[in-house]
Amino acid sequence: MPPLTADDRATLESWLDFQRATLAVKCAGLTEAQLRDEAVAPSPLTLLGLTAHLAEVERNWFRRVLTGERVPTIFGGDHDPESPDGGFDVPEEVSCTTDHALWEAEVDRARENCAAHALDDTGSFGGAEVSLRWILVHMIEEYARHNGHADLIRERIDGVTGV
């Protein structure tokens, strides 16, 4: 539970960590096949794909945008700044263990990059400046939206609901 009274930075970072932890809980205790189980036709969305997507989103906002780092997409290739963050499609040869480790590595890197910047520090997005504060709010929203998807997928797999 994020603190009920804290400064902006602690509030934003703890809410983002809460959302990250929620995703991990949604994926916990499932088999490889269950993590690859698609939501509901026609959607190909899976818990494994959500984890991969959020790893790519972490990489995009905290590395490409905030620090200007030029890094390929999670599963290789150049990142097209005009395309969505992508990453939902997990290659068959990428295991759930590898996928989760990639996500955790991007989260760790994001935390490092955040610690090195003030909330008002900016990166470049679409030719405009964007503050770390804005990025953190966006990431909370991104995770919250996808955690709603994860909740529905998990419920469909084994009936588990809630945080």
- Rounded distance, CA 147 to CA 90, Å? 18
User: Residue 163: inside a domain, yes or no?
Assistant: no
| pLDDT per residue as tens digits for the range 69-114 | 999 988 876 655 545 556 788 888 999 999 999 999 999 999 999 9
User: Residue 80: inside a domain, yes or no?
Assistant: yes
Angle of CA points 74, 76, 79, to nearest 5°: 75
Whether pTM exceeds 0.85? yes
Domain range spanning residue 30?
Answer: 8-158
Q: Residue ranges of the alpha helices (H) in the chain?
A: 8-27, 32-35, 47-59, 66-67, 96-115, 132-158
- Rounded distance, CA 104 to CA 55, Å? 8
Which CATH number fits the domain that encloses residue 59? 1.20.120.450
